[in-house]
Structure 1
Amino acid sequence: MKGYLENKGFQVVSYEGLAESYELTKQKIVTLPYMIYWGLQLGDPSQYFGKTVNVEKFIVKNHPLSQGKVDVYVYEVNGLPIGGTSYPHGDTSDGGYWSLEGKTLEELQTKSFQDWQKNWINKYSNEVGGRN
Protein backbone atom coordinates (compact mmCIF):
# COMPACT_ATOMS: atom_id res chain seq x y z
CA MET A 1 0.00 0.00 0.00
CA LYS A 2 2.94 2.33 0.64
CA GLY A 3 3.94 2.09 -3.01
CA TYR A 4 0.37 2.85 -4.08
CA LEU A 5 0.50 6.11 -2.10
CA GLU A 6 4.00 6.99 -3.26
CA ASN A 7 2.90 6.50 -6.88
CA LYS A 8 0.29 9.21 -6.22
CA GLY A 9 3.08 11.56 -5.10
CA PHE A 10 2.50 11.33 -1.35
CA GLN A 11 5.35 10.98 1.12
CA VAL A 12 4.43 8.28 3.64
CA VAL A 13 5.29 9.42 7.17
CA SER A 14 3.91 6.37 8.98
CA TYR A 15 1.64 3.35 8.74
CA GLU A 16 -0.99 3.47 11.48
CA GLY A 17 -2.49 0.01 11.00
CA LEU A 18 -5.84 -1.46 10.11
CA ALA A 19 -8.53 1.16 10.85
CA GLU A 20 -11.54 -0.94 9.91
CA SER A 21 -12.58 -4.13 8.16
CA TYR A 22 -16.12 -4.81 6.93
CA GLU A 23 -18.15 -6.59 4.31
CA LEU A 24 -19.51 -4.16 1.73
CA THR A 25 -23.25 -4.72 1.35
CA LYS A 26 -26.12 -2.95 -0.37
CA GLN A 27 -27.48 -2.08 3.07
CA LYS A 28 -24.18 -0.58 4.27
CA ILE A 29 -23.61 1.53 1.16
CA VAL A 30 -26.84 3.51 1.66
CA THR A 31 -26.03 4.43 5.29
CA LEU A 32 -23.84 7.27 6.49
CA PRO A 33 -20.90 7.64 6.53
CA TYR A 34 -20.30 4.75 4.08
CA MET A 35 -22.51 6.37 1.45
CA ILE A 36 -20.14 9.33 1.33
CA TYR A 37 -16.97 7.22 1.62
CA TRP A 38 -18.01 5.21 -1.44
CA GLY A 39 -19.38 8.24 -3.28
CA LEU A 40 -15.84 9.63 -3.18
CA GLN A 41 -14.49 6.62 -5.12
CA LEU A 42 -14.17 6.69 -8.88
CA GLY A 43 -15.34 3.16 -9.65
CA ASP A 44 -18.70 1.44 -9.24
CA PRO A 45 -18.83 0.05 -5.69
CA SER A 46 -21.27 -2.73 -6.64
CA GLN A 47 -18.35 -4.81 -7.92
CA TYR A 48 -17.21 -5.09 -4.30
CA PHE A 49 -20.52 -6.19 -2.76
CA GLY A 50 -20.06 -9.28 -0.62
CA LYS A 51 -16.30 -8.69 -0.35
CA THR A 52 -14.28 -7.74 2.70
CA VAL A 53 -12.92 -4.19 2.59
CA ASN A 54 -9.86 -3.53 4.72
CA VAL A 55 -9.19 0.12 5.51
CA GLU A 56 -5.50 0.80 6.16
CA LYS A 57 -4.52 4.11 7.76
CA PHE A 58 -1.39 6.04 6.82
CA ILE A 59 -0.09 9.49 7.64
CA VAL A 60 1.38 11.28 4.62
CA LYS A 61 2.87 14.59 3.56
CA ASN A 62 2.92 16.26 0.14
CA HIS A 63 -0.88 15.98 -0.14
CA PRO A 64 -3.15 18.58 -1.82
CA LEU A 65 -5.47 18.71 1.21
CA SER A 66 -2.94 20.30 3.57
CA GLN A 67 0.62 21.57 3.70
CA GLY A 68 1.05 19.57 6.89
CA LYS A 69 0.30 15.94 7.59
CA VAL A 70 -2.79 14.21 6.19
CA ASP A 71 -4.43 10.98 7.34
CA VAL A 72 -5.20 8.73 4.38
CA TYR A 73 -7.35 5.63 4.51
CA VAL A 74 -6.60 3.16 1.72
CA TYR A 75 -9.40 0.76 0.81
CA GLU A 76 -8.10 -2.69 -0.05
CA VAL A 77 -9.96 -5.71 -1.40
CA ASN A 78 -8.21 -9.06 -1.91
CA GLY A 79 -4.85 -7.40 -1.21
CA LEU A 80 -5.27 -4.74 -3.89
CA PRO A 81 -5.78 -1.00 -3.29
CA ILE A 82 -9.06 0.21 -4.80
CA GLY A 83 -9.26 3.79 -3.49
CA GLY A 84 -9.66 5.58 -0.20
CA THR A 85 -10.30 8.80 1.64
CA SER A 86 -8.22 11.53 3.27
CA TYR A 87 -8.58 13.88 6.23
CA PRO A 88 -6.36 16.66 7.63
CA HIS A 89 -4.22 15.14 10.40
CA GLY A 90 -5.20 16.32 13.87
CA ASP A 91 -8.47 17.95 12.70
CA THR A 92 -11.02 17.13 15.39
CA SER A 93 -14.04 18.71 13.68
CA ASP A 94 -16.62 16.24 12.44
CA GLY A 95 -17.24 17.95 9.11
CA GLY A 96 -15.75 17.20 5.75
CA TYR A 97 -14.91 14.15 3.70
CA TRP A 98 -12.35 14.02 0.93
CA SER A 99 -11.27 11.49 -1.68
CA LEU A 100 -7.82 9.96 -1.47
CA GLU A 101 -6.58 12.81 -3.69
CA GLY A 102 -8.26 15.50 -1.56
CA LYS A 103 -11.39 16.16 -3.66
CA THR A 104 -14.82 16.77 -2.15
CA LEU A 105 -17.96 14.89 -3.12
CA GLU A 106 -19.22 18.03 -4.84
CA GLU A 107 -16.03 18.21 -6.93
CA LEU A 108 -16.37 14.57 -8.03
CA GLN A 109 -20.12 14.43 -8.68
CA THR A 110 -22.02 16.44 -11.27
CA LYS A 111 -25.11 16.94 -9.10
CA SER A 112 -25.90 18.78 -5.90
CA PHE A 113 -25.39 16.72 -2.76
CA GLN A 114 -29.16 16.33 -2.26
CA ASP A 115 -29.71 15.08 -5.81
CA TRP A 116 -26.67 12.83 -5.65
CA GLN A 117 -27.80 11.33 -2.31
CA LYS A 118 -31.33 10.68 -3.60
CA ASN A 119 -30.02 9.01 -6.79
CA TRP A 120 -27.46 6.98 -4.80
CA ILE A 121 -30.05 5.65 -2.36
CA ASN A 122 -32.50 4.89 -5.17
CA LYS A 123 -29.81 3.11 -7.20
CA TYR A 124 -28.59 0.85 -4.42
CA SER A 125 -31.86 0.44 -2.50
CA ASN A 126 -33.59 -0.77 -5.66
CA GLU A 127 -31.01 -3.53 -5.93
CA VAL A 128 -31.77 -4.82 -2.42
CA GLY A 129 -33.81 -7.98 -2.45
CA GLY A 130 -33.20 -8.66 -6.12
CA ARG A 131 -35.47 -5.91 -7.47
CA ASN A 132 -34.01 -4.08 -10.45
Structure 2
Amino acid sequence: MIRKKFPLLAYFIWAILLLLIPLGCGSDSPWSEDEESAANYVESQGYKIVARQGKVFTYRLDKSLLQLGSSHPLDKKYNTNTIVNIMMSDGEVIGGTSTPDVGGLDGSLYSLDGRTLEEVTGISYGEWRTQWAQKYTD
Protein backbone atom coordinates (compact mmCIF):
# COMPACT_ATOMS: atom_id res chain seq x y z
CA MET A 1 0.00 0.00 0.00
CA ILE A 2 2.86 2.38 0.69
CA ARG A 3 4.24 1.64 -2.78
CA LYS A 4 1.01 2.76 -4.45
CA LYS A 5 0.77 6.04 -2.47
CA PHE A 6 4.42 7.02 -3.03
CA PRO A 7 4.19 7.38 -6.83
CA LEU A 8 1.04 9.50 -6.48
CA LEU A 9 2.76 11.72 -3.90
CA ALA A 10 5.86 11.98 -6.12
CA TYR A 11 3.73 13.12 -9.08
CA PHE A 12 2.03 15.67 -6.86
CA ILE A 13 5.37 17.12 -5.69
CA TRP A 14 6.71 17.29 -9.27
CA ALA A 15 3.56 19.06 -10.42
CA ILE A 16 3.91 21.66 -7.64
CA LEU A 17 7.58 22.23 -8.51
CA LEU A 18 6.81 22.64 -12.21
CA LEU A 19 4.16 25.21 -11.38
CA LEU A 20 6.52 27.18 -9.10
CA ILE A 21 9.53 27.27 -11.45
CA PRO A 22 8.11 29.99 -13.76
CA LEU A 23 7.49 32.23 -10.76
CA GLY A 24 11.24 32.45 -10.11
CA CYS A 25 12.12 33.12 -13.74
CA GLY A 26 10.79 36.63 -14.28
CA SER A 27 12.03 38.53 -17.33
CA ASP A 28 12.31 41.92 -15.58
CA SER A 29 15.71 42.02 -13.95
CA PRO A 30 16.31 44.74 -11.35
CA TRP A 31 18.65 47.62 -12.11
CA SER A 32 22.23 47.28 -10.95
CA GLU A 33 23.53 49.73 -8.34
CA ASP A 34 25.34 51.70 -11.06
CA GLU A 35 22.20 51.89 -13.20
CA GLU A 36 20.19 53.05 -10.20
CA SER A 37 22.83 55.71 -9.38
CA ALA A 38 22.84 56.92 -12.98
CA ALA A 39 19.03 57.09 -13.08
CA ASN A 40 18.93 59.00 -9.78
CA TYR A 41 21.50 61.47 -11.11
CA VAL A 42 19.58 62.05 -14.35
CA GLU A 43 16.36 62.62 -12.41
CA SER A 44 18.11 64.93 -9.92
CA GLN A 45 19.06 67.12 -12.89
CA GLY A 46 15.34 67.56 -13.62
CA TYR A 47 15.02 65.07 -16.48
CA LYS A 48 12.46 62.26 -16.70
CA ILE A 49 13.61 58.84 -17.94
CA VAL A 50 11.14 57.47 -20.47
CA ALA A 51 13.11 54.37 -21.58
CA ARG A 52 16.04 52.38 -20.27
CA GLN A 53 18.58 51.29 -22.86
CA GLY A 54 20.93 49.54 -20.39
CA LYS A 55 24.69 49.53 -20.30
CA VAL A 56 26.23 50.60 -23.59
CA PHE A 57 29.85 49.70 -22.93
CA THR A 58 32.35 49.52 -20.10
CA TYR A 59 35.73 51.16 -19.83
CA ARG A 60 38.47 50.01 -17.54
CA LEU A 61 37.86 52.86 -15.07
CA ASP A 62 34.28 53.93 -15.59
CA LYS A 63 30.92 52.64 -16.82
CA SER A 64 28.60 54.37 -19.23
CA LEU A 65 24.87 53.99 -19.06
CA LEU A 66 22.47 55.06 -21.72
CA GLN A 67 19.11 56.49 -20.70
CA LEU A 68 16.42 57.89 -22.96
CA GLY A 69 14.90 60.91 -21.28
CA SER A 70 12.43 63.73 -21.64
CA SER A 71 12.23 67.30 -20.31
CA HIS A 72 15.74 67.93 -21.65
CA PRO A 73 16.73 71.24 -23.33
CA LEU A 74 17.52 69.37 -26.58
CA ASP A 75 13.97 67.94 -26.71
CA LYS A 76 12.54 71.27 -27.83
CA LYS A 77 15.43 72.12 -30.16
CA TYR A 78 15.15 68.84 -32.11
CA ASN A 79 11.51 67.98 -31.32
CA THR A 80 12.44 64.51 -29.99
CA ASN A 81 13.57 62.71 -26.86
CA THR A 82 17.20 62.99 -25.80
CA ILE A 83 19.66 60.15 -25.21
CA VAL A 84 21.64 60.70 -22.02
CA ASN A 85 24.93 58.85 -21.50
CA ILE A 86 26.07 58.74 -17.86
CA MET A 87 29.72 58.01 -17.03
CA MET A 88 30.49 56.42 -13.69
CA SER A 89 33.56 55.36 -11.73
CA ASP A 90 33.41 53.23 -8.57
CA GLY A 91 29.65 53.72 -8.34
CA GLU A 92 29.84 57.53 -8.57
CA VAL A 93 28.59 59.67 -11.45
CA ILE A 94 31.56 61.55 -12.94
CA GLY A 95 29.94 63.12 -15.99
CA GLY A 96 27.84 62.51 -19.03
CA THR A 97 26.78 63.53 -22.52
CA SER A 98 23.49 63.99 -24.31
CA THR A 99 22.39 63.76 -27.92
CA PRO A 100 19.02 64.03 -29.70
CA ASP A 101 17.39 60.67 -30.46
CA VAL A 102 17.29 61.20 -34.24
CA GLY A 103 19.29 59.69 -37.08
CA GLY A 104 21.83 61.65 -39.11
CA LEU A 105 23.41 63.52 -36.21
CA ASP A 106 26.59 61.45 -35.94
CA GLY A 107 29.09 63.16 -33.67
CA SER A 108 26.48 65.52 -32.25
CA LEU A 109 27.37 65.17 -28.58
CA TYR A 110 26.34 67.78 -26.10
CA SER A 111 27.10 68.19 -22.42
CA LEU A 112 24.68 66.52 -20.05
CA ASP A 113 22.70 69.76 -19.82
CA GLY A 114 22.63 70.23 -23.63
CA ARG A 115 25.48 72.69 -24.17
CA THR A 116 27.94 72.46 -27.09
CA LEU A 117 31.69 72.05 -26.67
CA GLU A 118 32.12 75.73 -27.48
CA GLU A 119 29.58 76.71 -24.82
CA VAL A 120 31.25 74.52 -22.19
CA THR A 121 34.89 75.41 -22.89
CA GLY A 122 34.61 78.89 -24.41
CA ILE A 123 36.82 77.87 -27.37
CA SER A 124 36.19 76.39 -30.81
CA TYR A 125 36.49 72.68 -31.55
CA GLY A 126 39.68 73.30 -33.56
CA GLU A 127 41.30 75.15 -30.65
CA TRP A 128 40.19 72.48 -28.20
CA ARG A 129 41.54 69.69 -30.42
CA THR A 130 44.92 71.41 -30.75
CA GLN A 131 45.17 71.89 -26.98
CA TRP A 132 44.13 68.27 -26.35
CA ALA A 133 46.70 66.95 -28.84
CA GLN A 134 49.49 69.03 -27.27
CA LYS A 135 48.58 67.77 -23.81
CA TYR A 136 47.97 64.07 -24.53
CA THR A 137 50.19 63.08 -27.48
CA ASP A 138 53.90 62.35 -27.41
Alignment TM-score > 0.5, same fold: yes
**1:93, distance to aligned residue in structure 2 (A):** 2.9
Higher Rg of the two aligned structures: 2
Residues 90-121 of structure 1, C-alpha deviation per residue, up to 9 Å, x if partnerless?
33331421011111101111222211111111
**1:89, distance to aligned residue in structure 2 (A):** 1.2
Which of 10, 13, 17 is 2:50 aligned to?
13
Partners of 2:66 and 2:72 in 1: CA distance? 15
In the TM superposition, 1:1-132 aligns within 5 A as 1-23=38-60, 52-67=61-76, 68-125=80-137
Structure 2: gaps of 5 or more residues: 1-37
Partners of 1:56 and 1:92 in 2: CA distance? 22
Structure 1: gaps of 5 or more residues: 24-51, 127-132
Please tell me whether the aligned partners of residues 66 and 85 of structure 2 are also in contact (alpha carbons under 8 angstroms). yes
TM-score if structure 2 supplies the norm length? 0.66
Partners of 1:125 and 1:95 in 2: CA distance? 22
For 1:10, give the aligned amino acid.
Answer: Y
- Percent of matched pairs sharing the same residue: 32
Q: Which has the higher strand share?
A: 1
Please tell me whether the aligned partners of residues 117 and 124 of structure 2 are also in contact (alpha carbons under 8 angstroms). no
Please tell me whether the aligned partners of residues 118 and 125 of structure 2 are also in contact (alpha carbons under 8 angstroms). yes
Per the alignment, residue 26 of structure 1 pairs with: none
Q: Which has the higher helix share?
A: 2
Between Structure 1 and Structure 2, how many residues are aligned?
Answer: 98
